[in-house]
Amino acid sequence: MTETKIKIITENRKARHDYNIVEAMEAGMELVGTEVKSLRAGKVNLKDSFVRITKKGELVVMNMHISPYDFGNYNNHDPLRIRRLLMHRREIDRLLGKVKEKGYSLIPLKLYFKHGFVKMELALCTGKKIYDKRRDMADRDAKREMQRVIKERNKF
């Protein structure tokens, strides 16, 4: 049995707060050399990034900031360039059908190395309303309080 080596580079925690995740999937990324070196150094930000499907039927990630490589020369990359995601045609067509439905969007959740390749976990999401966010925070606080009470009872 082979063991999968996964090293997480970064996560988009705000996405789980702002969106209801319907389905998550994995995609490869098309990168240049200095981008990979910056990713190994952990210099990436997924905060306001999103995924679009182009007219050609390709997935592209926009607003993902990968800082220029410190030791790069004139061949360094543009930090906010549009990067192509790699998925099978069947999966892209299925996502295109879902995104055309009202309220669905594609949001990057995680960026990680898997067997030496950079992969992105992206999710099909719907936006949360403010009252949904408040309810989630109240549920989380109630759960934390219950755990604290149970821990106190088990002390004696």
Q: pLDDT tens digits, residue range 87-142?
A: 999 998 888 888 887 778 889 999 999 988 999 999 998 887 777 778 888 888 88
Tally the domains of the chain: 1
Instruction: From 69, 11, 78, select the one nearest 36 (Cα to Cα).
Output: 69
- Could you list the residue range(s) of the whole structural domain that residue 39 is in? 7-128
Cβ neighbour number for residue 38 with a 10 Å cutoff: 22
* 153 within a domain of the structure (yes/no): no
* 13 within a domain of the structure (yes/no): yes
pLDDT given at position 27? 92
Q: Residue 57 contacts by C-beta under 8 Å, 6 or more apart in sequence?
A: 89, 92, 93, 96
* 140 within a domain of the structure (yes/no): no
> Where residue 46 sits, what CATH number does that domain have?
2.40.280.10
Tell me the pLDDT band of 2, cut-offs 50, 70 and 90: low
* 152 within a domain of the structure (yes/no): no
Query: On the CB side of 121, how many CA atoms lie within 13 Å of its CA?
Result: 19
Cβ neighbour number for residue 105 with a 10 Å cutoff: 15
**H runs (alpha helix) in 3-129:** 13-18, 33-40, 89-100
Predicted TM-score (pTM) of the model is: 0.77
* 65 within a domain of the structure (yes/no): yes
* 107 within a domain of the structure (yes/no): yes
* 98 within a domain of the structure (yes/no): yes
* 134 within a domain of the structure (yes/no): no
